[in-house]
Structure formats: structure tokens, C-alpha cells
Amino acid sequence: MGGLKGEGLGKSSLPNVATDTRAGKTEPRRLRRRVRAGRTLAGLIWPQRSLITHRELPGPGALEPGLWSKLTFITGQQCARCGLPFEIAVEPDQVCGACLADPPAYDRARAALIYGDISRDLVLGLKYQGRRDGLGMLSGWMGNAGAELLAGADLITPVPLHYFRLIWRGFNQSGWLAAALAQSSGVRLSVDTLKRVKATPIQGNLSADARRRNVQGAFKVRSSRLKLVKGKRVVLVDDVLTTGATAEACARTLKRAGAACVDVITLARVAGPRTATI
């Protein structure tokens, strides 16, 4: 199991990940009854609320059934480098035009969802409302999407926030996702390997070039974490992949510090190629 170091995650250090029930087969019957009773009581005190509408849900789950169908999961063939979904069948390990013309600094990127109305609300709920109750589900989707990347990984680390933004917001949502993904995958977690040394403006509707300039020189590997990175396969975690400028800046920094490979796993990505913006 990956070490859950709390540093850098913000005021609530440990993620609220779904309880693991795999031990259920071996635990005594009395204990199982107590756990069930505890969950029922917890459900009465803190009823499950939709991650999007905040309405109380009648049963277990995090979304109303009607919203599930509006999510677009990335399941088919995709660019071997940036994870862009292909609309037609292609050869395995096919790379998209953007990656052929200008290969990204990271090795591979994978995302669970296409960034659309509902996935945007999931990201905003996590980022601005601190909805940690969905972390188990969201990181589960990310774990499925990035299973191949996680299989050979040595380290999971999030895209960091600048210190001032971390203080202002109180937490780093990418750190929460990284911690939940490390817990479910068993890959070692370090939430503070990367440091954002430049307070960059919010990328908003900046063009791909402007985003690249915006994050140039914005990251550093902490000297105390160099040993974790050198010669290792690192998985970088973020909430959304847009042009990938931030992920590329982090990947370049990690590779300069000696990382053997840098892969990226995000909750969502834009539907278009790497030059698109949200």
C-alpha cells in the first residue's frame, strides 16, 4: 500500500476514500453487523448527496441515474501518447497528428472522462466546494483509465498549487486525487515532490502557446525528493488535461531531475487535440 504522507494536501490531509469491503469474507459476523449498522447510522446523519445537484440520493451512489448517461467515459482506441480518443479504428500504438508533429514532454497521458458539462461540474465541485465524498469513485475511474500506466509506476505525485493559492483555497484537489489513486493502486505517493515556484495566472481561455509561456519555469523538484524521482517511473496526477501545457512543464522538470518516465493521469481531458482549450 502506498504511503499516505499528508504534506502538501492542505487542511484535510487524508482523502475520503470508499471503505474497502474486501476483508468482509474473513471478519467475524458480529463485526460485519456493527459495520453495517455504523454505515446505516452514518447515512442517516450524513445522507448521501449528489455530487452535481447536492440533492439527497435515495440509495448509495454519487449521482442521479439521469446524470450518469451524460458522462462520456474514454474507453475506445486512443492516441498512444496523449490519449486523444480516435473516432475510427486504428492500428495499436497509433499516435495522433499533434503528437506526431510535436511529441509531448510526457510519455503517455490517460483520462477517465471527456471534459463536458457534467464532468466539468464534478471537477468544479472538487476544486471549489471541496467535495471529497466523491474521491473514491473518481479515483476509481482514473485507476481504470490509467491501469496500464500504474502497473509499472514507482511514484504518484500531483500537479502542485503555488503556496499562496494553497493557502487561499485550503487544499489541492489534484493532491486529493493523487492520494486516493495511490491508496487504491498501492503505488507510492509523494504529494510534495514538485513545487510551483511561480504564481501563474489562471489559464482560463489562454491559447496553447500562451499556456506554455505561462507555466515555463513554474515548477521545481524539491531537493529532498530527488532520490524518489531519479531513474523512476512517475505518474503525475491532475484534474483536467487541456492543452497539456502544465503537465508538460511538470514532466520536463521531473525528467530534468532524472525521472525515467513521466506518465499523466487526469480525471478528464478535452475532446479535441492538444491545441484545443476549454
Q: Which of residues 206-245 bind Zn ion (CB under 5 A)?
A: none
CA pair distance 53, 63, nearest whole angstrom: 8
Query: Where does this chain touch Zn ion (CB under 5 A) — which range of 98-106, 135-143, 153-161, 222-230?
Result: 98-106
State yes or no: residue 84 binds Zn ion (CB under 5 A): yes
Query: Where does this chain touch Zn ion (CB under 5 A) — which range of 82-90, 153-161, 228-236, 242-250?
Result: 82-90
State yes or no: residue 268 binds Zn ion (CB under 5 A): no
Residue with cell 484534474: 239
Which of 18, 81, 261, 266 contacts Zn ion by CB under 5 A?
Answer: 81
State yes or no: residue 109 binds Zn ion (CB under 5 A): no
80 vs 206, beta carbon nearer Zn ion: 80
81 vs 188, beta carbon nearer Zn ion: 81
95 vs 124, beta carbon nearer Zn ion: 95
Query: Where does this chain touch Zn ion (CB under 5 A) — which range of 93-101, 198-206, 209-217, 251-259?
Result: 93-101
In the shown chain, the binding pattern of residues 61 to 80 toward Zn ion, with x for contact by CB under 5 A and - for none, equals: ------------------x-
116 vs 272, beta carbon nearer Zn ion: 272
**Interface positions with Zn ion (CB under 5 A):** 79, 81-82, 84, 96, 99
